Structures are given as structure tokens and as C-alpha cells.
Amino acid sequence: METRNLGHSGLQVSLVGLGCNNFGMFLDLEASRKVIDKAIELGITLFDTADIYGNRGGSETMMGQILGDRRKHIILATKFGMAMDEAGTLKGASRRYIFSAVEASLRRLKTDWIDLYQLHQVDPLTPMEETLRALDDLIKQGKVRYIGISNHPAWKVADAEWISRQHNLNHFISCQDEYSLLARAPEKELIPAMKKFGLGLLPYFPLASGMLTGKHHRGNLSHGTRLETARFAGRFTTDENFAIVEKLAQFCKKRGHTLLELAFSWLAMKAINSSIIAGATKPEQLEQNVKAVDWKLTPEDLSEIDALTARA
């Protein structure tokens, strides 16, 4: 398994990471154990979860039960900021909430430290300086090793970097955002800002929630997948996306590869991507993901892909 530094930091992560959002939601304890065991066997070192995953706490709890002594051999990443209660009071990025949220995550994960602690979403009520000072204190206390940011616009990422520099605080080393052949918005503003400040990207939804697996076709969605749910189908199964997928499928067929291999290899060709975050419900899916990054696309391939994925 290839490893890369996360941005300009010294933290090394596996090129293929494991998204742990299925644990406690779609997978029970034993099914989650099989996925985690296979991930470690394949050399995956980055395990990415969040306090909200698994019906608020379920994913972290299962990981704490499963990892045991192996925890010290992996890079454990989690997130905070989204609502952890129905009333929406347990959320945000204030100093008070961060100190409470990190202790809860540490308890569920059964660990003394978090390798990468990430702000999950924008908190419009809390100044970024307050958030960064609280996270800086957690690093000094040894409870957190590095910090990252997720689902924030480029200007907020740049603002956070300048605040860290101005006040000599530990700064974000990574962004975690949706990025795939069907979701290329980060290329416009976010990725240029990240390159300027030396952050690494952790792309999630690399398969566009299944649209890039090759399983789904126009008018015929594969049964038992997340694209059957209203939340994902309405977003991804558009006529425009199906048109792009059909063209990409032909591109792959001519070269003897699969659509899934293209989705991963295209992301792997971009140096900004430190680790590709992909979930799995079965161990064999992990094997496919790990093998998928081996296709070395040529500059001509990349130019053709850009043309095929161009939006109207």
C-alpha cells in the first residue's frame, strides 16, 4: 500500500483510506469487525469516522470495541461539530463544546489520543479564532495530534490559515470534502487555496455514492444500494450524470479497465489527494478499492477524461 504525507505535515497515511460511516448504521458489530480486519490486512492505515456516524456515536463505539491493541498501529481520524442530539444543542465549534466532544469521542474510541481531529461543518456562531485556540490546546494536552477541516468553503480555509499564522497556533493540515469524477467543484477555489497553504485533501464519495461503480444504469439502479434511497438518488442519478458515466464506461472498456478502477486511479493521480476515503460494507469491496489505484493514467488519458466530464 502506497503511503503519502497528509499535506505538508509529517503524518503519513495510506493512499486508500477506510470511511467508517457504515459502522453502527448499515453494519452490526461482527460485520464491522470483518471490514476492519480486512482493512488492516490490506495495509490500510487511515480509518476515518465521526462522532455523528452510526446514529450518533455508534461508529466510534464499535471501533473502540474492535480495534483493541491494534489502535496504535493505525491513523485514527474523527470529526466533531454536527448535532449529537435531536434538539440540536450538542453541536458546533465553540471552546466549551469542543472540550466536551473530544472527551466523548475518546471514551467511545477507547483511546487516549486522536490522530486527526476534524471540524465537520461550518459553525456560523463561533469565531474561527476561538475554535483554533481550543484545538491548539488539545494538541498541547496530547489528546489530539493533528487537526483538519471538512465541508468549508475556500475562503474559510484561507481565513483559518491566516488566523493560525497570526496567533502562532497549530493549523489545519487537511480538508475532507466531496471530490470525484462527478463532483469536481473543489478544483475551482478550494484546491488552489489548499495548494497555497500546504493542506492535503481527503476526498470522500470517490464513487459518487455508487454512480461510478458500474452497477447502476439509466432506469435500472442496482438493488440494495444507497442510491435507492431518496437522499442519494435525487442528488446523483441525474440525466447529466448518467450521460457522463456512460461516456466514462466506454473510455474504460476500450482500455480493459472498470469504471471503479478509473474513479480511484483518477483521484490517485492527483498529488493533492493524500488518502481516498471510501466506505465498505463487505471485505471484498476493500480488496477492489485497493487494487483500483494501480491504473497509471497518461496525460492524454487525463485530458480526455476532462473533456468527457465537462459540464454543459
- Please determine, for residue 306, whether its predicted confidence score (pLDDT) is greater than 70: yes
- Please determine, for residue 269, whether its predicted confidence score (pLDDT) is greater than 70: yes
Q: Which amino acid is at 265?
A: S
- How does DSSP classify residue 267? H
Q: Catalytic one among 53, 117, 146, 179?
A: 53
In-domain check, residue 299: no
In-domain check, residue 29: yes
What total of structural domains would you count in the chain? 1
pLDDT in the model for residue 221: 67
In-domain check, residue 28: yes
pLDDT for 66-113, tens place per residue? 999 999 999 999 999 999 999 989 999 999 999 999 999 999 999 999
In-domain check, residue 118: yes
- Lowest mean pLDDT of 88-97, 232-241, 287-296, name the range: 232-241
- Please state, in angstroms and rounded to a whole number, the distance separating the CA atoms of residues 100 and 95: 9
DSSP 24-81: TTTB-HHHHHHHHHHHHHTT--EEE--TTHHHHHHHHHHHHHHHGGGGGGSEEEEEE-
For residue 261, give the H/E element and its range: helix 259-268
pLDDT in the model for residue 86: 92
Residue spans of beta strands (DSSP E) within the chain: 3-5, 12-14, 16-19, 46-48, 75-80, 114-119, 144-150, 174-178, 200-204, 276-279
156 lies in which domain range?
A: 3-208+263-294
pLDDT in the model for residue 198: 97
- Please state, in angstroms and rounded to a whole number, the distance separating the CA atoms of residues 284 and 286: 5
Mean pLDDT (the chain) is 94
pLDDT for 20-74, tens place per residue? 999 999 999 999 999 999 999 999 999 999 999 999 999 999 999 999 999 999 9
pLDDT in the model for residue 228: 55
pLDDT for 118-144, tens place per residue? 999 999 999 999 999 999 999 999 999
In-domain check, residue 91: yes
What is the arithmetic mean of pLDDT over 138-152? 98
In-domain check, residue 23: yes
What is the torsion angle, in degrees rounded to the nearest 10, for the CA atoms of residue 134, residue 137, residue 139 and residue 143? -90
In-domain check, residue 134: yes
What is the arithmetic mean of pLDDT over 292-303? 96
- Please state, in angstroms and rounded to a whole number, the distance separating the CA atoms of residues 166 and 232: 41
- Please state, in angstroms and rounded to a whole number, the distance separating the CA atoms of residues 226 and 229: 6
- Please determine, for residue 233, whether its predicted confidence score (pLDDT) is greater than 60: no
In-domain check, residue 162: yes
pLDDT in the model for residue 224: 56
pLDDT in the model for residue 305: 97
Q: Sign of dihedral through CA atoms 257, 208, 173, 45?
A: negative
- Please determine, for residue 185, whether its predicted confidence score (pLDDT) is greater than 90: yes
- Please determine, for residue 220, whether its predicted confidence score (pLDDT) is greater than 90: no
Q: What's the pTM value of the predicted model, to 2 decimals?
A: 0.94
Other CB atoms within 10 A of residue 3 CB: 15
CATH number at residue 196: 3.20.20.100
Confidence of residue 311 (pLDDT cuts 50, 70, 90): confident
Contact 302, 269 (CB under 8 A): yes
Contact 281, 39 (CB under 8 A): no
- Please determine, for residue 271, whether its predicted confidence score (pLDDT) is greater than 80: yes
- Please state, in angstroms and rounded to a whole number, the distance separating the CA atoms of residues 138 and 161: 18
* Residues in a beta bridge with 171: none
Whether residue 146 lies in the annotated active site: no
Query: Which has more pLDDT, 97 or 228?
Result: 97
pLDDT in the model for residue 162: 97
